[in-house]
Amino acid sequence: SFLLFLTILKTLRYSRFFYNVRLAQKAIQAALPGICHTALVVSIYSFMYVAFGYLVFGQHEWNYSNMIHATQTIFSYCVSAFQNTEFSGNKVLGVLFLSSFMLVMICIFINLFQAVILSAYDEMKQPVYEEPSDEAEAVTYLCNRLKSGFDFLTTRSRDKDQSNFFVDMLYGQPEKNTRRFLGLKARNINGKKMIYLVV
């Protein structure tokens, strides 16, 4: 599965000419500090639940009999595999433990991860649209050459809607009803200072 994950990552590297792939990469890069901080908080809270489960339920429950079993049990709760949740020693405390775990770890922290990624995604839409892409330029050039050759051979006119869809797929669309990103821009791209106009 790890090799499959690396293969998918390599495939994404070769599909950077798509606007959505570039946007996802930039959004994850921008959200990486927030993701790391959230992961640190999640690991601290997970350790608190492991320690609490070991100290309170360790004498009565095999799943919490030592720190390794308690860590495995809490990790299984994180992936929603709620098994062996009888808590024969103290059922009321076990129900409170599981309900607080579901509230804090699953409801709050998963939504926090989503909020960090989605806010970075929204912030990066316009900058990725404005940033020139060599891959998209190369694919557009190749596709236009192939299309013009095919149109010449078949004497068929180009479909305007299809070419607009293709351009939107490669370059994206600007944000609607915003004036914030319009005008003269200066940005460092590949170590060179470039000045361009966004209209």
The whole-number pLDDT of residue 143 equals: 77
The whole-number pLDDT of residue 15 equals: 74
What pLDDT digit, counting tens, does each position of 112-138 carry? 888 888 888 888 887 777 776 777 777
What pLDDT digit, counting tens, does each position of 139-149 carry? 777 777 777 77
pLDDT of 164 strictly over 60: yes
Lowest mean pLDDT among 5-19, 31-45, 63-77: 5-19
Give me the percent of the chain exceeding a pLDDT of 70: 78
What pLDDT digit, counting tens, does each position of 18-44 carry? 788 888 888 888 899 999 999 999 999
The whole-number pLDDT of residue 40 equals: 93
* Residue 162: band (very low, low, confident or very high) from pLDDT cuts 50, 70, 90: low
Dihedral, CA of residue 117, residue 123, residue 129 and residue 131, to nearest 10: -100
d(CA 146, CA 140): 10
* Residue 185: band (very low, low, confident or very high) from pLDDT cuts 50, 70, 90: low
The whole-number pLDDT of residue 160 equals: 52
Q: Are 45 and 97 in contact (CB under 8 A)?
A: no
The whole-number pLDDT of residue 176 equals: 57
Q: Are 44 and 154 in contact (CB under 8 A)?
A: no
Sketch the domain layout of the chain as residue ranges. 1-128
> What does the pLDDT average to over 154-159?
61
